[in-house]
Structure 1
Amino acid sequence: MKAFLFTCMLVPWLVAASARRFDQDSQLIPGSLPGRELNGYISDNLKSRRARRALPPTEEPDYTPVPEGADVIDLPTCLLCVCLTGSVYCEEVSPDMTTVPTLPKETAYLYARFNKIKKISNKDFADIVTLKRIDLTGNLISEIEDGAFSKLSLLEELSLAENRLVKLPMLPAKLTSFNANHNRLKTKGVKANAFKKLTKLYNLFLADNQLEAVPHIPESVRILHLQNNNITEVSKDTFCRSNDTYYLRLSLNEVRLDGNPVVLSKYPDSFTCMKVLPIGKYR
């Protein structure tokens, strides 16, 4: 009889203890929710990413959705985009983003890919001197005012790939990587000294354009992509120095000239200073 009474008291106590332990474990693991609730939480969180506002750390984010029919120009940047500390993500914004958005003063990284931005003016980045990286890949940019990047003394990476550029603007001196692949650039749209002063430039991507000649390549460049252009010849001074037979260009590790009309075997003296031959047509 005593054993029966003891069992009747013990079972409810064990059930209650197990429930308390489950609740404690859920609190110890951040974001731990039962299956359906967890899936719903993740789904709602992903849907709200583009509607976040940049607020001080002590305040809660505002998940107000973008109003239907709203004009993108009239909406705060951090309502259209995802604003994190120092970074702004404005990718495939809806409604269509046709101009560079107004950025928070402390922005260091801007990703505004796959929108419908058509032009970059001098005022777009004039006050954002903290920018280190700008990625405007996949827009409709056909014009960039010459001083648009002139105040960006910290800018290291700039991508203008997959746009409609016919000429390049003045570029910041500290660039380490520049990408203008898949544009409409011709040699007359690239100034002779466009890259000359970029002494820290490591990667230069100008593939899939309409260039007729190889532009001046800084000594620092390691990777050069010029494939699928209209380059017809390579001179002795394109990569080397015709007046210096001891000159070696050791930094240049990769040169792509495939997809151009030039037959590289016709210019054997143009690559004597290089440790690798350009990739391209030799017959």
Structure 2
Amino acid sequence: MCDMRMSLQPQVFAVALVLIFSSPYSSMGSPQGGPGFDDGIFDLENYDDWDSLDLNGFGDNYDYDDLDGEIEVGMVVQPTPEPANTANEHLAEFKMEVTPPPAPVTLDFKGPDLFGPETSLGMPTCLLCVCISGSIYCDDSNLEQIPPLPKDTTHFYARFNKIRHVKNTDFINLNKLKYIDLTANQIAGMDEDVFHNLPHLQDLILANNQLQALPELPINVRYIDVRSNKLISAGIHPDAFKDLSQLEFLYLSKNHLHSIPAPLPDSLRVLHLQNNDIQSLHEDTFCNRHDRNYIRRNLEDIRLDANPLNINLFAHAYVCLLRLPVGGR
């Protein structure tokens, strides 16, 4: 039985080889382009010793370099995530490109009468002060001089500043100006003709300054307030108020006057001279010694208190008055 198995073994291997080389896939036994097997060597008639067949070295001489051009091996690398701040920067750039910021608003300060003329402080008057219609409010603005004013100015307020002098060019070409209030500055002097070209000026308030003299006054002025200054009688022109036919209110209290500045216009209604150094009255101060029938009907309020004056000694000075002055001893 054992001899029979040994005799059949070569025949079985022979049949197996025949089937392999005779099949359509016989080419798989040798790689394409390689040296392959020699047909003479593996002839069944010349190779009877199947036990010595070595299949382990099959394919050792095959040239695999031919596969380099056909097979490409790649490497998949996952992208490295960007830092959070870099991503935010890109996002911000994207947003700026999509929605650009609005253009800055520019104001033409040099435009005609937009914010008024340019001041010495580098800004237009109506940015330094408050401009409402024709009224200019420059109160408590640390001004040391009158700022340039728009030509349509009708009322000008510059109280509580540091103005020391008023020039004749400060109100030039302001033909509509009606009201000036320079209360509580440090004004010690004014050009003589500073108010000369103000035909419509009606109210002039210069209280709480350091004036010793008054300039020429505008002809149409109605209200003058020069209280709490350093006015002296020599600093007022002899006929300073004579031709002011519309003057109604004159406040000269708390100064250094030695006499009442006469003659006074008939239009005058209120005259305050308290806290001066007035010591005497003249017959022509209120009345007209050349016309005994003259009566000053408009003058209703005369204040002479806190002066070294005895009004009882000067009865002839107020015989034309409907009301006696207040004050004196």
> TM-score under structure 2 normalisation?
0.63
For residue 234 of structure 1, the aligned residue among 271, 276, 281 is 281
Partner Cα separation in structure 1 for residue 123 and residue 210 of structure 2? 27
Q: Paired residues, what number?
A: 217
Amino acid in the other structure paired with 2:139: E
1:256 matched to 2:303? The reply is yes
Which structure's relative contact order is higher, taking Cα pairs within 8 Å and 6+ residues apart?
Answer: 1
1:80 matched to 2:128? The reply is yes
- Specify the SS of the correspondent of 2:121: helix
For residue 112 of structure 1, the aligned residue among 150, 158, 163 is 158
- After TM superposition, list the pairs within 5 Å mapping 1:31-180 onto structure 2: 73-93=121-141, 96-180=142-226
Tell me how far 1:73 sits from its aligned partner: 2.8
Deviations 1:32-91 (A, max 9, x none): xxxxxxxxxxxxxxxxxxxxx9x99xx9x9xxxxxxxxx963222111110011010000
Amino acid in the other structure paired with 1:231: I
Partner Cα separation in structure 2 for residue 166 and residue 136 of structure 1? 15
Higher Rg: 2
- Report what 1:212 is aligned to: 258
- Specify the SS of the correspondent of 1:74: coil
- Report what 2:271 is aligned to: 224
Partner Cα separation in structure 1 for residue 297 and residue 249 of structure 2? 15
Amino acid in the other structure paired with 2:173: D
- Specify the SS of the correspondent of 2:302: strand
Q: Any unmatched runs of 5+ in structure 2?
A: 1-108
Tell me how far 1:197 sits from its aligned partner: 1.1
- Specify the SS of the correspondent of 2:126: helix
Are the aligned partners of 1:72 and 1:97 in contact in 2 as well (CA < 8 Å)? no
Partner Cα separation in structure 2 for residue 128 and residue 171 of structure 1? 16
- Report what 1:65 is aligned to: none
Partner Cα separation in structure 1 for residue 242 and residue 302 of structure 2? 18
**Identity of paired residues, percent?**
41
Instruction: Please give the root-mean-square deviation of Cα atoms over the aligned residues, in Å.
Output: 2.0
- Specify the SS of the correspondent of 1:260: coil
Deviations 1:190-212 (A, max 9, x none): 00011111000000011100000
Amino acid in the other structure paired with 2:125: T
Deviations 1:173-226 (A, max 9, x none): 000101100100000000001111100000001110000000021111000001
Tell me how far 1:236 sits from its aligned partner: 1.0
1:266 matched to 2:303? The reply is no
Partner Cα separation in structure 1 for residue 120 and residue 254 of structure 2? 32
Amino acid in the other structure paired with 2:194: A
